[in-house]
Structure 1
Amino acid sequence: MEEDDNKAERDRRGIQSVEVGGQLLLALAHQGRPLALKDLAREAGMAPAKAHPYLVSFGKLGLIEQDEATGRYGLGPLALQLGLISLQQADPVRVATPLIAELALRIGHTVAIAVWGTRGPTIVRLEESPAPVHVNMRHGTVVSVTDTASGRLFAAYLPPETVKAVLEDERRREQLERERPPVPGMPRPEPLPTWEAFEQQLPEVRAHGMSRSEGAVIQGISAMSAPVFDHTGTMVLAVTAIGPTGLFDTRWEGPISQALQQCARAIGRRLGERLP
């Protein structure tokens, strides 16, 4: 037992001077701009005389550099290189997965992650709520561009030519289905809109920064979806909450909307998000 305690203590043990100096790097990252010595020291919670030796050492490593004209300190080339490598290694789905599990518990509804695949919006993760919604959705499911919250979200933020090509494929498949003999007792779905008609729905999505669907795909099921952007400003994920219409609040300023946006921004921050 004592050996285990000693091992735990060794695992926790760090180099205090590194942790102290690291506060200067955190302060620069938080402020997002070069700072004078006194301002940087204040943000890091230390005296300028204490901060200066750390800055000298960080400067030798390339983590910090000082502008010769202004004397201000900013992040150096090594810090920028490390940041770029971190962004390149960040997998949006891996980053998002634990956060959508927390979100599903928080709002009490199923939460899905969709990415843009070769055939359009594709579900890659599904976190069931404590009372799961029974819909025909699983990993790998491709959902409609026009009829789903996540589909309209991608349509609003991806290049129009990319979305238009997928919509035209959907329309061709729909036409083939309509040419087959009807199934008795099964009503034919409404024809998919043209790109020109569908495009008129997208300004509302951009205005709210979200999309919603109220019983359009499955009667009695509603959804809301929020976008996640990466460091280039490209939408990489749609985080979508799904629930029974009677219990699912689709108000733009409602608690589900706010929780979705908070989750999407938390994911985005870890990806170095740049909002469009």
Structure 2
Amino acid sequence: MRKKSEPTQVLSLEIEDKSQRAVQSVEVGGRLLLALADSGSALSLKDLAARAEMTPSRAHPYLVSYGRLGLIEQDSSGRYDLGPAALRVGLASLQRLEPMTVAEPVIRQLAAQTGHAIAIAVWGNFGPTVVRLIEAQQQLHVSLRIGSVLSLFDTATGRAFASVLPQERLLQAIAGPLGEAMPQEKWQQRQPEIQEIVQEARRHGVSRAISNPIPGVNAFSAPVFDLEGNPVMVITMTNHENRLPAAWKNEAVSMLAEAVKELTLRLGGQQPAQA
């Protein structure tokens, strides 16, 4: 007597690799979740399956299971989107992230690969404030130390913040040598310079200071963003001009740009939309 055929099920094959075992079906199904996360909107079964590089018939059983778990949901038109359980997982991950902890291995690697001094600055009460510093491999005689408050217009770090922060924030705390506030009239006179800073950062993806404020020392900076597109920190690379050329296109600057992109991604962030 023949047995009744069992319903088709998604196979959970365990794969052995050199270091650890893995469940193939989890990895395959995970492509659907990642595709939804990257899409920015709900997708039809056909479009979602295509983005995950599988057929709709193969994708559907995974979506049924994820729907039962609350990881995905369907709207009234039948399109799929991330569900409440996916939101819980994402928020839990973000809440456990400590930006400085996440940034530490990235800046250490950047410093080791380039040999340049690498600093992290956050926006403090008086403007850009250095909170972490890795010295250059060859001695660099500059007065940059943890706790230093940097000029908004005369440093690459300050210019990086100025390129992305709203002007109301900048007016609240203008970073001069002593953190002094800038009079409104003088601030208005700075508007052309601010616009130049913004456009320069948009063109090149980084901000730059050449022999300023310290003669013979160059610096490049770029911001790291959070989920809402706000700058969490600015990463700065600096060294003597004979070790760090002023050219926008050089290997070290490209590595800096990639490092901030990686950190933004790790923090679940995104670059703000350009006006």
**What secondary structure, in the 3-state scheme, does the structure 1 residue paired with 2:260 have?**
helix
Corresponding residue for residue 34 of structure 2: 26
Change (3 A) 1:168 1:80: closer
Q: Which residue of 1 aligns with 2:74?
A: 66
Decide whether the 8 Å contact of 1:249 with 1:255 is kept in 2.
Answer: no
CA offsets 1:10-33 (integer angstroms, 9 cap, x no match): x93344433332222123223343
User: Which of 227, 232, 235 is equivalent to 1:239?
Assistant: 235
User: SS in structure 2 opposite 1:194?
Assistant: helix
C-alpha distance after superposition, 1:139-162 (max 9, x if no partner)? 222222232111122233223233
Compute the displacement of 1:126 (Å). 1.6
Q: Report the alpha carbon displacement of residue 41 of structure 1 after superposing the two structures with TM.
A: 3.2
Aligned to 2:118, which of 104, 111, 118?
A: 111
Residue 135 of structure 1 aligns to a residue in which SS? coil
3-state SS of the aligned residue for 2:242?
helix
Q: In the alignment, does 2:191 pair up with 1:199? A: yes
CA-CA distance at 1:114 after TM superposition? 0.6
In structure 2, the partner of 1:253 is 249
Please give the alpha-carbon distance, in whole angstroms, between the structure 1 residues aligned to 2:37 and 2:178.
Answer: 48
Q: Residue 222 of structure 2 corresponds to which residue in structure 1?
A: 226
In 2, are the aligned partners of 1:250 and 1:256 still within 8 Å (CA)?
no
Native 8 Å contact 2:149 2:179 kept in 1: no
The Cα of 1:169 is off from its aligned counterpart by 7.1
Q: What's the CA shift string for 1:171-229, capped at 9, x where partnerless?
A: 7869xxxxxxxxxxxxxxxxxx9323333322122112232112222221111111122
Matched, 1:262 2:258: yes
Instruction: Give the superposition deviation at 1:132.
Output: 4.0
1:87 touches 1:231 (CA, 8 Å); kept in 2? no
Q: Tell me the C-alpha RMSD between the 2 structures.
A: 2.9
Q: 1:110 to 1:172 in 2, by over 3 A?
A: closer
SS in 2 for 1:246: coil
Distance verdict in 2 for CA 1:207–1:255, change over 3 Å: farther
Please tell me whether residue 156 in structure 1 is matched to residue 152 in structure 2.
Answer: no
Q: Which residue of 2 aligns with 1:273?
A: 269
Cα offset, 1:241, TM superposition? 0.6
Structure 2 runs not aligned, ≥5 long: 1-16
| CA offsets 1:217-257 (integer angstroms, 9 cap, x no match) | 22211111111221112112111110101232222333333
Aligned to 2:138: 131
Partner of 2:128: 121
- Give the 3-state SS of the residue equivalent to 1:200 in structure 2: helix
Letter in 1 for 2:261: R
How many percent of aligned residue pairs carry the same amino acid?
45
The structure with higher relative contact order (CA 8 Å, sep 6+) is 1
Counterpart-to-counterpart distance in 2, 1:168 and 1:50: 57
- TM-score w.r.t. the length of structure 2 is 0.78
Structure that is richer in helix per residue: 1
Runs of at least 5 residues in structure 1 that lack an aligned partner in the other structure: 1-8, 175-192
- Local SS of the residue matching 1:232: coil
Q: Which residue does the alignment assign to 2:147?
A: 140
